Amino acid sequence: MAVLVPGKFLYLATPHTGSRSVAQALCDQIKEAVSLGEHHSTLDQVADKLQGERLVTGVRNPYDLFASWWTRTYAASKWPSFHDFVRDWDDPLYIKNGQIFYHWKPGVQILRFEELQKDFDTLLARYKLESIELPHINKTEGRAAWMKFYDAESYALVNKRVRAEIVAFGYEIRS
């Protein structure tokens, strides 16, 4: 869902970036927070509610993100292998206009999955809101480290699909 903290910011949830934890914490702990739309609403779906609030969204290492999507959602479905999934996957819920972090554009504040609590604390401090400990929702139990999913060809496929996002968010290009 999108969560509006009026006069401060609008949080737009991005799949597999800790978005349910952030949305729940905002809605449960900030009295004036308002949930808008579905969990992964886009800016276009909630833009009429904005009155100048800053946009905030989550990002995650794209290689880890693909491994998370595969493990949590698609491993038992139509793709016979992780490699096939990386090559062919194009779910419009998760990829829009060729981007996996489709809410991001210059000026949007990001919360990195790898530093989620720290980035969330920075966000709250910026708006003089009290610190909130994030709950850990939808943790993937027992998943192997994302590096174990990849071979050279899988890395090349991810690099081809989302290189701009890997670079934009300062993640290391793997091969």
Q: What is the rounded CA–CA span in Å between residue 4 and residue 33?
A: 6
Instruction: Provide the pLDDT confidence category of residue 72 given band limits of 50, 70 and 90.
Output: confident
CA angle centred on 73, ends 72 and 75, rounded to 5°:
85
Instruction: Provide the pLDDT confidence category of residue 155 given band limits of 50, 70 and 90.
Output: very high
pLDDT of residue 5: 97
Report, in angstroms and rounded to the nearest whole number, the Rg of the chain calculated over CA atoms: 16
CA angle centred on 136, ends 7 and 168, rounded to 5°:
60
State whether CATH 3.40.50.300 applies to domain 2-168: yes
Instruction: Provide the pLDDT confidence category of residue 93 given band limits of 50, 70 and 90.
Output: low
- Tell me the domain boundaries of the chain: 2-168
